[in-house]
């Protein structure tokens, strides 16, 4: 049966208020931030990264700070839009099954909790100054956990995922040990196509039978996410962010997030990203030991 792509994304302008308690193909870069302006770094010898002033970049050690918060939608919550194509698809009984959550049946750009107005799928992360790089804890350099993306019905869960596949050691990227797996918990086949930076994450397209899974070897590729789609169900899409440090989080369905082991006493850029507005928030903050509360308000 021939399938035709159908895409629908709602874009709504946002503003953000954030507070924190004190406290052609290009050669891949070796630095920890692929989006660092070229003028801020220079090479003096293979594997040795320096700042524009000639000094070596300095490591930022892991700390005991914890960032907790919630992204809350301000104003009237937009009405969720059902994916109309599900009703016409031959797999409609699976897509619209009673076991499927309501968030799996709607367009994925806005997933907002009805009771808390929490916004899901917002990526919150720290960005090191241009003359420094994150040096994670020994435990984070020897990860054994796996990040999963599932397809229990006819949408990817989660819609936005993030992984820490490697860390920068001052010279090059080293594997962290964290893995990524795409699952298919549905009773029908899914096709998972991943499109990333061709120099680091070449495109793959895997058909995953029911109750099966595929391990994907992902690499850090900077600020641009890897895009995921399913050729069997054209409305299905997702995003995967890669980081070379563990100081990031993706908000849950109630809008909450937590980032642990945050370095303290150093000023960072705090970045918040949402699919409807990638430049959701960017502000410099310094965090202290213990809990640091960070609240994000998003409104149309």
The b-or-e profile of 23-59 (16+ CB within 10 A means b, else e) is beeeeeebbbbbebeeeebeeeeeeebbbeeeeebeb
Could you tell me the pLDDT band of residue 63, with boundaries at 50, 70 and 90? very high
What pTM does this model have? 0.82
- pLDDT tens figures, 241-274: 999 999 999 999 999 999 999 999 999 999 999 9
Percentage, residues of the chain above pLDDT 70 = 81
- The pLDDT value given to residue 227: 97
- The pLDDT value given to residue 45: 31
- The pLDDT value given to residue 56: 85
- The pLDDT value given to residue 96: 97
Could you tell me the pLDDT band of residue 12, with boundaries at 50, 70 and 90? very low
- Number of other CB atoms surrounding residue 215 within 10 Å: 10
pLDDT > 50? residue 33: no
- The pLDDT value given to residue 40: 31
**DSSP strands (E only) in 28-85:** 41-45, 48-51, 58-61, 65-73
Peptide bond into 128 cis (omega under 30): no
Could you tell me the pLDDT band of residue 300, with boundaries at 50, 70 and 90? low
- pLDDT tens figures, 147-175: 999 999 999 999 999 999 999 999 999 99
Could you tell me the pLDDT band of residue 16, with boundaries at 50, 70 and 90? very low
Return the domain boundaries, the chain. Answer: 137-244
Specify the CATH number for 137-244; select among 2.60.40.420, 3.10.20.740, 3.20.20.80, 1.10.1060.10: 2.60.40.420
Report DSSP state, residue 249: E
Percentage, residues of the chain above pLDDT 90 = 73
Residue 245: name the closest of 147, 138, 129, 166 by CA: 166
SS3 for 39? helix
**32 vs 225: which has the higher pLDDT:** 225
- pLDDT tens figures, 170-219: 999 999 999 999 999 999 999 999 999 999 999 999 999 999 999 999 99
């Amino acid at each position: 049966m021939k399938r035709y792509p159908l895409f629908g994304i709602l874009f709504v302008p946002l503003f953000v208020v954030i507070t924190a308690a004190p406290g052609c193909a290009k050669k891949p870069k070796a630095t920890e931030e692929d989006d660092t302006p070229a003028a801020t770094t220079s090479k003096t010898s293979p594997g040795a990264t320096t700042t524009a002033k000639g000094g070596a970049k300095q490591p930022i050690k892991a700390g005991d700070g914890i960032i907790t918060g919630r992204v809350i939608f301000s104003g009237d919550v937009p009405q969720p839009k059902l994916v109309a194509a599900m009703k016409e698809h031959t797999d409609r009984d699976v897509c619209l099954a009673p076991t499927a959550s309501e968030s799996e049946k709607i367009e994925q750009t806005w997933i907002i909790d009805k009771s808390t107005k929490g916004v899901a799928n917002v990526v919150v992360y720290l960005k090191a100054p241009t003359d420094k790089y994150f040096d994670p804890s020994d435990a984070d350099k020897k990860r054994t956990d796996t990040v999963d993306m599932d397809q229990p019905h006819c949408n990817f869960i989660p819609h936005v995922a993030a992984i820490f596949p490697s860390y920068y050691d001052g010279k090059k990227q080293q594997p962290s040990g964290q893995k990524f797996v795409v699952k298919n918990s549905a009773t029908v086949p899914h096709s998972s196509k991943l499109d990333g930076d061709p120099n680091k994450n070449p495109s793959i397209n895997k058909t995953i039978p029911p109750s099966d899974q595929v391990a994907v070897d992902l690499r850090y590729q900077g600020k641009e996410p890897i895009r995921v789609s399913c050729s069997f169900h054209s409305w299905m899409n997702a995003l995967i962010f890669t980081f070379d440090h563990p100081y990031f989080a993706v908000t849950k369905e109630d809008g909450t997030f937590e980032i642990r082991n945050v370095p303290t006493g150093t000023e960072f850029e705090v970045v918040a990203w949402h699919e409807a507005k990638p430049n959701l928030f960017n502000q410099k903050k310094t965090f202290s030991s213990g809990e640091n509360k960070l609240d994000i308000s998003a409104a149309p």
